[in-house]
Structure 1
Amino acid sequence: MKIKIAVIGSTDFCQRTEQLVNNRKDIELNWYRYAEPSEAPSLLQTLKPCDALLFSGSLPYFYSKKLLENLPIPAVYLQQDETALAITLLHLSTQNQQELSRVSIDVREQSYIEHVLNDLGRSVELPFVHLLKDDEKITTITSYHQTLSLQGKTDMAITSVHAVFEQLQQQNIPACKMIDPESTILRSIEQAKQQALLQKSNSAQIAVGIVKSISSRQNVETSIAKMASIMQARWSVHDGDFTLYTSMGNIESAIKNKEFLSTFQSLATKAKMAFGCGESIIDATENANFALNLIQLSDGHCFYMLDTNKRLHGPFPQSEVTVEMKITEPALVEMAEKTKLSPANISKLMQYSLMRQTKQFTANDLALYLDVSRRTAERTLKKLVDYKYATIIGEEMTYRQGRPRALYEFNFHPYF
């Protein structure tokens, strides 16, 4: 299967990728060239059908991020790393005899600089470093290098952005481009290919939707037929309940379709809906029924989708959160067995731990996040404390009269 990848980048980057994959039979590259990274969003609107997107760097990718949310294909970008920085510095110091302390440089992450300098035993210094921001203007980056050069503080500018390099050259300011190693470019192309293959595999999975009428007096067939048409689904009805047969890819596209969501909203107070995916119709139907049973009145009018890996997506259209409904990591299996907490609740606890800016929290904080009562949150925390997955580290005085609230910290590792 040949994978089509759209490459969005500078002319120089597009030429390099063309040379590197000239004899590849498993991929086909289509090139979309820009003069500046800010032109990337407009190039997206001219895309021909493809399986994945590859951006030449972080700037064009982040310029395009809002548009990418509506595209059903994966997108990756060439990520700068320590290897690119080290090769560029080595080239300057050996070929050009450049004193590195008089070089200005723009990079994505400060850590790249730190790692390279540590590897060199701090034998060199790079005092002039500009950290690139997500949607930074090219003129801002150019101005940084230009100012240092005109002030006589630098003799050379290293830039990660081709458009900045060209602007500096036009102003007769000595500059060089960050050298992207061939291995890094090939790895990014391979990453785009593998993500496209994974997307195709997931999209082709069987999906079943179940719509259960709340009242037999409600006529929902017109809405079901309309949604089925948008999802390219076949449907049947039995005892007032509707079953839709389609693919996961069609559901993912429908979720982003305004007409589909509007039609779903017309079912409010009339029916409940959920989807399941699986390797067979039986598996998909089982997952759809499981997702249907999770819909509570407190959720409002919404629907869930449970995929073949037991990941619960939703509630749609309010949220696109994904919750693990099964756990295979030994440490998490042990945690579930000891505390008797469900995989879904453990998944939510891990997400809560990752999203918090501070480690300490109260039962009320957790209750608000889980959308449960404080008493329920306290029972959950008691289980965690009993088995040393959480610790009471102090108390927090309330603004009103009453007992101080306990302050907790998690003791488990959230990065499983």
Structure 2
Amino acid sequence: MQPIIKWNKNVTQSGKEANHVKVKIAVFGSEAVIKQFQSYTGGQENIEIFPLVYSDPSETETLVEKAFMCDIYLFSGALSYQYAKEKIIKKRLPAVQVEVDAYMILMAFYYVKNYKQQPLERLSIDVPDASKVDETLDETGIACDSIYTYSYGKRDAAVDIATIVKFHEMHWKTGKVDHVLTSISEVEQLLHAKHIPVTCMRIPNLNIKHALEKATSLAAINQTNSVQIIIGYVHLKHKSAIQLEKGNAYGQELHSRLHQILHRYAEETNASIFSDENDRFVLFGTRDMLDHITSHYRDFPLMKEIEHALDTPVDIGFGLGLNAKQAESNAQLALETCGSSNKGACYVINERGEAIGPLGVEKQFNPSILYRSLIHKAKLNNELSYNFIDFIEVRNNEPFSSNDIANYYQVTKRSAERTIKKLLAGDVIKVVGEEKPYVKGRPRKLFQLNQTS
């Protein structure tokens, strides 16, 4: 099923981050209900709807498997949720339902009275929670002696359509009611077939709004985006030798030109730049600079610009950390790693102490083989397969965690972990280590492609 809004990565090739993170919501419902959601959410930039249309609610059990890249699962009806409930609980998937509340019941009463021309005193109703009907009746002053309510949410472990239909049919045949008001479209169809007058409650836009707000709030709670600090040390590799050969003035000119390049880079990535006592330039940034680096592992443009402008090797060491001290220590390690080569180099030491690099040097893999594995082994669709290939290319085939996928695609960690499970099940990736960026907490696994060429 294709999404309403086509999948877009929020990190562009220039490394700029979008101002908001789209919450990807899988909506399960009939074609009519899905169209209602489409109409309501059109133009909302913070929400991306993946419609999962069913002709029968029992299909949701299978449809759940197609929504693994979504952040949250939204069920338009209690029956559809019941069919998927076991998988939702087993996999601990975040899910919400459109609530059948007093407002929805009130709107249904209004429709029955004004459009069906049906008095409200002799009704048979089914809802998940009978107290919502009582609440509505109290507010409106409608006599409840001749209104019969079936509460399926509290009575049954699972919704039994046959029992609900039998409840309404019994009250109709015994002459106790003139009309049935149901919250389940399948009950409406079965009662129609029995020629029993019935109306199915329509989901008001207000309830859609509340369900979407609840879904986005829950997705936000599940997100675990930590604020990382990144520090970069930059220095001319052979500055002393250059000054001895060409003079101090030439060395200072190179230093000044390097400062200009780094100043532009700092402005582009919202970072700060200054010099330290070791005659090095220091870059200090957060999310924007990190996004730029992770988006250019294969073709690090800063390194190319410096080499072209100065015609002399330059070393760059970036360090990531959850605090400035950790980032500074990792930046120093990254710079020392550059010293193993006579040429200029750029390395990153992340918060788990792992070296990434050299940046700007391509690590090869075979996209065609990877694509076939993603389609046939991991069972991803075309779009997700191409997106993952882009991810591997941008990261230069470096080891990655579920957090790396979450940050790259701007999705929740839970959504990224579901992708990882698909890739592991298809033997597309393998575990190559662990990371532990926090003092407390469970280590995160690191993954890499099973193929290398």
Normalised by the length of structure 2, the TM-score is 0.45
The structure with the largest alpha-carbon Rg is 2
More RCO (CA 8 Å, sep 6+): 2
